[in-house]
Structure 1
Amino acid sequence: MSLTGILPPLRAVLVLQFLSALADNMLLFIVQAVLVRDQYPAYYLSLVQSMYLLSYIVASPWVGLLADSIPKKRVLLLGNCIKTVTLLFLLLKINPAASYLFFGLGSVIFSPGKYGILPFLTTDDQELVRANSWLEGTTMIAILLGSLLGGWLSDHSILLSVGLASALYGLAVLISLLVPSNASVQQVPMKKAVQNFIGDVRFFLRHPTGRFSVLGSAYFWVAISILRLAIFIWAPLALGLTGNTPVSLLIGLIGIGMGIGAFAAPYVISIKTYRRAVYFGLVMAVASLILPLLQNLAVTLIILFLCGILGGMYIVPVNSLNESIGDATIGAGRGIAVQNFAENSLMLAGTSLYTFSTRSGVSVETNILATGAVFLLLMLHLMYLSRPQAAKEPQE
């Protein structure tokens, strides 16, 4: 029996992504446990997370070229191997921020591999959207399970958590062998990576649909990252929740909604009708403006759950659009690298601004309202940019 007979290629990608995302979220809780155990200052968790974002920003010019110059299965394997080494660093008590920077490097290598392989494994745009929906949906499930498992295990034994996360990465590496090798797209000298990357960014920002895919994902994730941080402070004050577990479950509800929305996305939107995604974003922005006014737990749960569903239906066509354009032009890996660069640059700037605002004494309600207002303006800007271009793009 051939290797692909054991597990079909696309299903193999979904399984290894699930295992990798599960271990990724366990690793975050392992780092948090290490910070508590070794009595690092409170601000250190923000520093650790900033190192992760920084790795995406700095490494983007090179990882896109790497992903398009070697088979994607090797990219997936390399990314997970590097993330596994991060666990060894933590066991050796190497600085958590430095360790997490290394973990970010593994993640930024892995990302264009998992997304870039999808156009190769699908036959048309609608199948690509369906593949993305399954990838995002399984990722959300893995995030939820990884958070629960990582939080519980790391409270009992850091060593046991590291052992299980290592086993998950190891299994993901083995499953990556079931992914077929796509033909290398192109060979660009690494010494020209930065110059080439600047050209890639310019290409996507000048390309009407490419611009939508890059700005659309960046606008979405910067708002989500800030609101997620704010909810951890707002929920106990407004809803009377105590302890991390109830608040984590509240955040988890958004993830469940995003998973459902991701699975539903192919049935309500396609790459050809990608502009509809803006309407999902607009409703999310309005809901975030309402959020600080709520004091009823049941109503809050419903709104957060619906926001999650809308978020899943929003991000799937945006990612699919990026992969389709990249695969047809400069290479899927390079296109995803541009998208990752934009997302993480805005997320780093946004979370830094939020941290500064919080330390300056601005209330969490004001921060949520400000984030919602900015998100609304960004969605309106995206709607303006995505209007049908005369003689360039056909009407839907």
Structure 2
Amino acid sequence: MPSLPVPAPAPALPRGFRRLVLAQALSALADHALLILAIARMLELAAPAWAPPLLKLGFTAAYVLLAPLVGVLADALPKARLMAGSHALKALGAALLLAGTSAWGPLLAYALAGLGAALYSPAKYGLVAESVAPAGLVRANGWLEASTVCAALLGAGLGGLLISPQGPGQAPLLQALGERLAGLLPGCGASCADPAASLLWPALGLLLLLYAGAGLAHCGLPQPMPGAGRPRRRRSAQLLRGFACDGQRLWRDPEARLALGATALSWAVGAALQFLVLRWGQEQLDLGLDAAAGLQGVVALGVVAGAVLAGRCIPLERSTRVLPAGLLLAGLLPALCWIEQPWAGLPLLLAVGLLAGVLVVPMNALLQARGQLLLSAGRTVAVQNFGENLGMLLMLGGYSAAAALGASVAGLALGLALLVLSGLLVLMRQPAARPVGPGARG
């Protein structure tokens, strides 16, 4: 009787990968908690109701504006050092969140944190693409996405807890840290006297500790950059032309084009969904901001499950078969309109997150595999970040405009569903992609 074939063991992840996952998780945890703090600060300073989505827009603007530069930097500089430096920029933005009393101050502070994030992303994914064998990219991306979204789950919940009067911000140690921070930053006297703002100072101190921990976690990471030296001096026009050529080369490749389109659409819709869930929780479920932030965590929990499922069950050569998961996601979004109880919405939000994770993780791995063959790790991620964040800018701008015009939660949910459906149908009508794998060359 012939024996059954034994499946090949999963490729081992390189030394230091766990430390990279830890740093990414700490950074994402602080980023998502910082967004909730920034929203709370804007509302306390009487910003208009349509203004909070602009926080995310400002955060992602750096990804678009610096896209031609960050990929070159990620390829030319030691990636671990660049990632550690990016956390210093994030911490500076967080520290300035409560400086002053202008309603638009949090927008500028969160945009500075976005600058650090824009520098971090190409270096992170570039390090993965250079360190992990192609057969292990889906698994590695699954770990990264799962840790990122798990941190988003905890970060949204942590932000909600920290702005609650009964939250951990009342702990004596954090209170002392918040008082020290308030004394160090200029122009904070008015905000320190504000009881609502005083709750945010201890929270801010905790976030700064998280950013410091993320920076320390990068110490000792491997530097697999053969031949990398000082960055070559290049003029702005040369950078722009090179970036445009990189984008054209990826866009002409069927697999890379599919992955670029799917990831850009997913992140754009996800950015708007983040604020839609907050508004849905506050208006339709009658929750406060601290409790509504926990609903974002439910979506994130679903993404973690989807990312782990994709990493275990979808090999790189089958990554193009996950697009129908996005069609199911589009079908679920309008159901938010008829749900008025939190217990009924939790399974729906969990399913939306799971389908998003199943869609995004294989597409990320596919793009990294093609980009490593066609360009380089850092330049590919720079093009990917440009597309994803340009989509997020347009989506958040449209969301804010619709909210300012009085669009309801039902109208916004239906609009997002139609965008996902139409975008995926366009991608699925593209010419069939070639088999993808370690041996597939462009």
TM over 0.5: yes
Structure 2 counterparts to residues 1-396 of structure 1, below 5 A: 8-90=15-97, 92-93=99-100, 95-125=105-135, 127-155=136-164, 156=169, 157-183=199-225, 189-191=233-235, 192-235=238-281, 238=284, 240-294=285-339, 298-385=343-430, 387-388=432-433
CA contact (8 A) 1:52 1:104 kept: yes
Q: State the distance in 2 between where 1:154 and 1:365 align.
A: 28
| Gap regions ≥5 residues in structure 1 | 1-6
Q: State the distance in 2 between where 1:357 and 1:35 align.
A: 19
- Aligned-pair identity in percent equals 30
CA contact (8 A) 1:326 1:333 kept: no
**Structure-2 change in CA distance of 1:130 and 1:310 (3 Å):** same
- Equivalent AA in structure 1 for residue 382 of structure 2: A
Larger displacement relative to structure 2 (302-311 or 352-361): 352-361
Larger displacement relative to structure 2 (79-88 or 94-103): 94-103
CA contact (8 A) 2:160 2:289 kept: no
Larger displacement relative to structure 2 (175-184 or 308-317): 175-184
- Equivalent AA in structure 2 for residue 215 of structure 1: G
CA contact (8 A) 1:213 1:321 kept: yes
Larger displacement relative to structure 2 (369-378 or 356-365): 356-365
Q: State the distance in 1 between where 2:157 and 2:283 align.
A: 23
CA contact (8 A) 2:265 2:423 kept: yes
**Structure-2 change in CA distance of 1:228 and 1:185 (3 Å):** farther
- Equivalent AA in structure 2 for residue 231 of structure 1: V
Q: State the distance in 2 between where 1:97 and 1:28 align.
A: 10
**Structure-2 change in CA distance of 1:37 and 1:184 (3 Å):** farther
CA contact (8 A) 1:275 1:386 kept: no
Q: Deviations over 1:286-310 (max 9, x none)?
A: 2224443445655532222122111
CA contact (8 A) 2:97 2:110 kept: no
Cα deviation for residue 327 of structure 1 reads: 2.1
CA contact (8 A) 1:90 1:99 kept: yes
Cα deviation for residue 269 of structure 1 reads: 1.2
Q: How many residue pairs are counted as aligned between the two chains?
A: 384
Task: Tell which structure's C-alpha radius of gyration is larger.
Answer: 2
Q: Deviations over 1:246-293 (max 9, x none)?
A: 433332211101011111112221221111120111111122244434
CA contact (8 A) 2:88 2:116 kept: yes
CA contact (8 A) 1:57 1:345 kept: yes
- Counterpart secondary structure, 2:371: helix
Q: Deviations over 1:227-260 (max 9, x none)?
A: 332233334555x443234433332211101011
CA contact (8 A) 1:65 1:188 kept: no
Q: State the distance in 2 between where 1:354 and 1:185 align.
A: 45
- Counterpart secondary structure, 1:312: helix
The two structures, once aligned, show a CA RMSD in angstroms of 2.5
CA contact (8 A) 1:257 1:307 kept: yes
CA contact (8 A) 2:138 2:316 kept: yes
**Structure-2 change in CA distance of 1:189 and 1:207 (3 Å):** farther
Q: Deviations over 1:39-91 (max 9, x none)?
A: 44444433332211211110111101100111211221121121122133335
- Counterpart secondary structure, 1:117: helix
Q: State the distance in 2 between where 1:99 and 1:379 align.
A: 35
| Gap regions ≥5 residues in structure 2 | 1-13, 170-198
Q: State the distance in 2 between where 1:243 and 1:162 align.
A: 20
Q: State the distance in 1 between where 2:158 and 2:96 align.
A: 21
